[in-house]
Amino acid sequence: MPIIELKGLTRDFEYYEKAAGFKGSLKNLFARKKIIRHAVSGVSFSIEAGEIVGFIGPNGAGKSTTLKMLSGILYPTSGEAKVNGFVPWERKEAFKRSFALVTGQKSQLWADLPAIESLRLNKYIYEISDDIFKNTVAELTEMLNVKNFLNVQVRRLSLGERMKMELIAALLHKPSVFLLDEPTIGLDLLSQNAIRDYLKEYNKKTGATILLTSHYTKDIEELCDHTIIINKGKIVYDGSINGLRKYNSGNKAVILTFLGITDPSLISVYGPILECEQNKITVEMPQDKISDALPQILASFPVEDFTIENLPLEKVIESIYRAG
């Protein structure tokens, strides 16, 4: 039985268009043009217990709005949703104890207090016993290597250190459903890797279900087997990572290694340049054109070696965004 299930979930926002200047403000007193934005339009999907699912899409696609409805922050315009058997926007006590929401753009920690004080506040909110709190904090800070920062004011922590503390605060009550909205945004590579490793370990140890939004393809590749893509408020892909890789099988990445430096603009006539690094150029080509293009390139340029690979995952996702 799915632990997260959505059926026709829809959320519309109403706002009004306003002309610029004093005349526009005066006109709005008597006549306003209403605009309805369909942020989420009939979204349906299900997630099984224990899955780590990537929920991705371009800016404004409806990802954050969907997560806010799943956490009960927003009411839907229409449709149904259940998380852990609860209707989220009913905000029942048992439901609030069963999930956690972390967003990379909004903090739940008090900026002027040491992180440990915010953790203690969560301890009392969720009625966690002293022993469990002490053991959980020790375990999580050890895993994320932030034990030495517990008594530092949150505003004095680096972004990576703060995000690790945010994760600890969200997981103190050991939720079975974990909603993450861009948790690695703006972090350096070391912090990104640490958080990914932590999420994999937490999922393995607890069996928690994780729904993750991210603009970093590596987050999705390393953490998720199941991916859902939303665009313009509608689901455009729901399936495995392997299935996603095959989505744009008509194009390939041709990696050309030259004996010397070659002008990429000369190669771009064969297709878009994906990457250019010293004497190596990666070009995207339709699969059925490669057999004609390669002999021309080999005859015209000092090519030392070449390989043909599937497109990088981010290019496949980009093509889905465009198609959407």
Same domain, 258 and 233: no
Residue ending a domain, choose from 218, 245, 272 = 245
Instruction: Express each pLDDT in 64-103 by its tens digit.
Output: 999 999 999 999 999 999 999 999 999 999 999 999 998 8
Other CB atoms within a 10 A radius of the CB of residue 231 amount to: 19
Neighbours of 267 (CB within 10 A): 21
Residues 142 and 277 in one domain: no
pLDDT tens, position by position, 158-174: 888 888 899 899 989 99
Q: Note whether 187 and 275 are same-domain residues.
A: no
Inter-residue contact 115 to 149 (CB < 8 Å): yes
Report how far residue 64's alpha carbon sits from residue 84's, in angstroms, rounded to the nearest whole number: 19
pLDDT of residue 261: 83
Number of domains in the chain: 2
The model's pTM: 0.82
Among residues 193, 213, 245, the one where a domain terminates is 245
Separation of first and last alpha carbons in the chain: 30
Domain check: are 315 and 211 in the same one? no
Q: Sign of the C-alpha dihedral, residues 48, 54, 55, 57? A: negative
Determine the structural domain holding residue 234 and report its residue range.
Answer: 4-245
Give the pLDDT band of residue 153 (cuts 50, 70, 90). Answer: very high
User: With pLDDT > 90 as the criterion, what percentage of the chain qualifies?
Assistant: 48
Q: Mean of the pLDDT values across residues 218-228? A: 90
31-41: per-residue pLDDT in tens? 778 888 899 99
Q: Among residues 245, 261, 290, which one ends one of the domains?
A: 245
